[in-house]
Amino acid sequence: MSASQNPHTNPAEENPELPEEQPELGEALPEEQEEQSVEDIRAEYEAKLAEAKDQTLRAMAETENVRRRAQRDVEETSKYAVTGLARDLLTVAENLYLALGAIPEDARQEEGLLKSLADGVDMTLRDLLSTFEKQGIKRIDPLGEKFDHNRHQAVSQIEDPKAEPNTVIHVMQAGYVIGDRLLRPAMVVVSKQGDASQKVDTQV
């Protein structure tokens, strides 16, 4: 049997011009394909982990904001809960001031009915003001201060050469604040220049 007729003969040996079979271009080897798959899984896992971490941090921040807002609301409610009652008691306090001021000073120094009355009014007023202070209520007596439209209400303007323009020269009725809120503005008389070139807002 001739070499050309040998069934076990390699075609490439018979025809040296025929190339050996090669893997097609772009075809990944099994090892490379497995390595690429692991890298993809790791990248996807890390991305999801980062997203979950970000969402957790956002949720924690929002929870903290809600907690702070709720705490602030509770504090505000507690702080200003007595506002309505305080406004009703302001007139009582001012009436006590008026009653005390109506008793002559010399009569308060002598033993007698007027002194006992003055002492009783003074004690009541002090107790009331102490209660106000515990609730964050303060009295505004702005005599000599610059006019402040946020806390004062000017009922009139008077020329006063001894005072700077827009200065409170007389307090007709004291004002009150609770915390940083105005309960009642102080009713005041304000100085002005002789030519009335400067005016103040008489409205609160």
pLDDT digits (tens, 9 = 90+) for 79-89: 677 788 888 89
Look at the alpha carbons of 86, 99, 142, 203 in this order and tell me if their dihedral is positive or negative.
positive
Mean local confidence (pLDDT), 13-20: 52
Residue 109 has pLDDT above 60, yes or no: yes
Mean local confidence (pLDDT), 129-134: 91
Mean local confidence (pLDDT), 138-159: 94
Residue 139, helix vs strand vs coil: strand
Q: What is the CA radius of gyration of the chain?
A: 46
Least confident of 44-48, 106-110, 193-197: 193-197
Q: Tell which wins on pLDDT, 45 or 29.
A: 45
Q: Which amino acid is at 132?
A: F
If you count them, how many residues does the chain have?
Answer: 204
Residue 199 has pLDDT above 80, yes or no: no
pLDDT, averaged across the chain: 80
Mean local confidence (pLDDT), 5-15: 51
Burial class (CB in 10 A: 0-12, 13-18, 19+), 87: middle
Cα gap 2→15, rounded to integer Å: 16
Cα gap 89→94, rounded to integer Å: 9
Select from 120, 183, 171 the least CA-distant residue to 145.
171
pTM: 0.57
Cα gap 31→8, rounded to integer Å: 33
